[in-house]
Amino acid sequence: MEELNLFEYAQKQLDTCAEILDLDPGVHAILRVPMRELHISIPVKMDDGTTKVFQGFRVQYNDARGPTKGGIRFHPEENVNTVRALSAWMTWKCSLLNLPLGGAKGGVICNPKEMSERELETLCRGYAYRVSSIVGPDKDVPAPDVYTTPQMMAWMMDEYSKTVGSHKFGVITGKPLSVGGSAGRGDATARGGMITIREAAKELGIDLRKATFAVQGFGNAGSFAAHLAVSMFGSKVVAITDSRGGIYNADGLDTEAVSEHKAKTGSVIDFPGSTPISNENILELDVDVLVPAALENVITEKNAAKIKAKIIAELANGPTAPDADDILHNNGVHVIPDFLCNAGGVTVSYFEMVQNFYMYYWEEEEVHKRLDKKMTPAYHSVLETSKTYNINMRVAAYVVAIERVVESMSDRGWV
């Protein structure tokens, strides 16, 4: 089976937008490839006395609008094409939210679940040291992503600060509050997604107090999404899955109790009062809102026609294959595309950068208000563009984001 190449997906989405915008071929060519890539090798002395060499990447896609921004993933199946795709999506995401930032992404091929804390700290510090020449508060600001944590960001910040010889809390975001982190960062991705769902529900005439949700993926974003659907809207979460399986209850699930169950058992499966459901079947449930918050490429041309949800809110990166978008659009499914829906994380990371720069920190309520002021107009800019061009929401998001990047490139004299 041919390996899924997310970067080809990202390029295909860009190509569709370039045709709509009638982009100059030279401009299109610039936007199709990363501006800069760094491949690194990181030796780590393991606890058993052996030395293991880990491969890592940092991809800076486009910095026309400002310093690049993007997470660092630690994953055993990480590859540079995934990192390239995510760096492209970060470029469009920052532009779409009208942040003065470009897009980047980083990754290390490793399995952090099999490493001790000391080994992980050594790996984090090694990564920070080896990318130090191309990152910085006014160059490129990383953040946590898959299998990376605030503690790991603190180690990287500390190593970078040692390397350059001064305190540089702003070199990285997603840090603990004690070293320059931002209040409101924990649930920012999910909260931003909820704001876009709220606006979509208004557009579609859906009463969220009576709405049903299904959440595929019960990690950080998915678990917060489930809790916020209840606390913000009074909605009913009827189905939840994780990597081991899922649970369903038509009368609604107690999301807090599900979290406690997963903390004790390692999975949502076998939650009392629920029936089993698979990660495949949850996608086809008759619910108002489907939240894919786990893996890439779960909605494809094979199952898109079976989707019954009125709204798909893509908290995961790349959950919908390009060939599925038109099917969903033609069937009247309102898709809130990933780099709009999950942009709350990078938006609050940007807020963390701002707070680091002027060394004054906001209360959580202030962060929530500012996030709403960014997410709401971003959603409506995409919605209006979708209507203007009669295109689906994903392509519309690309149109808005790419127009802004191209304008910055033009004003800087790049093209």
Active-site residues, by number, are: 105
What backbone torsions phi and psi does residue 295 show, to the nearest 5 degrees?
A: -100, 165
Report DSSP letters for 352-390, one per residue: HHHHHHHT----HHHHHHHHHHHHHHHHHHHHHHHHHHT
The 10 Å CB-count burial string (b at 16+, else e) for 274-288 is beebebebbbebebb
The span from the CA of 227 to the CA of 293, in Å, is 13
> Listing from the earlier edge strand, what are the strands of the sheet with 311-313?
275-277, 245-248, 236-242, 212-216, 289-292, 311-313, 334-336
What is the sign, positive or negative, of the torsion defined by CA atoms of 29, 33, 34, 38? negative
Pairwise CA distance, residues 105 & 89, whole Å: 9
Helix (H) or strand (E) segment spanning residue 174: none
Nearest CA to 87 among 74, 99, 72, 97?
72
Give me the half-sphere count of Cα atoms (radius 13 Å) on the Cβ side of residue 402: 29
Q: What 3-state class would DSSP assign to 128?
A: helix
